[in-house]
A = this chain, B = another copy of it.
């Protein structure tokens, strides 16, 4: 059950007020800020409580507590992630010589044990993922059908869509100009590196 636009606005105002003033706004202050009556503001706060985004201490002035305030919004909550120029066979993925830099992204964009950014080469997944994009990858040795994955074939890393069909692994490009790879499970030289969980493109 998500929030409506208006409810999101109200929640943001409450958060901003706490950050700026140090304490939550009163019902009337919320109303004044949006130019609505206290009752309308009151109903919105009750809706936020019902949906679990806020905990109220009934009948207490400014008795609004925003749940997961730190987790979602405040910065200490950034995660440092290595940016890899390439993935090489043989060595561990996060070998020092592959790390181009360490960048800082919101923690909830990078959920998982081992997460890294990979500079994409080639257009086998165009237009979804383009040459030069940064792919956010979570290390994992298996994947579900349809996942976009990073796989290592001999000495070359590729990004393709992953399928498993009667004991065969299928790596299918979005771009039809490229060939679909099909191989038996356990084929030597093949290794699943991880799943692409995000794409960043600088224009």
Contacts and interface: CB of A to CB of B under 8 A. Distances in A.
Contact of A9 (B26, B69, B97): B97
Contacts of A93: none
Interface in A142-196: 148, 196
A8 B34 CA distance: 39
Copies in the complex: 2
Given A9-B97, A104-B106, A203-B196, A22 B75 contact: no
Which residue, of A66, A103, A128, has the highest number of chain B Cβ atoms within 10 A? A103
Interface string A53-73: 001010011111110011011
Given A62-B23, A203-B148, A203-B197, A12 B102 contact: no
Interface of A: 5, 8-9, 12-13, 16, 21-24, 26, 33-34, 55, 57, 60-66, 69-70, 72-78, 80, 85-86, 96-106, 109, 127-128, 148, 196-203
Given A73-B76, A199-B201, 15 more contacts: A5-B86, A13-B96, A22-B24, A23-B24, A62-B62, A73-B101, A75-B78, A75-B104, A77-B103, A78-B78, A104-B104, A109-B200, A198-B200, A198-B203, A201-B201
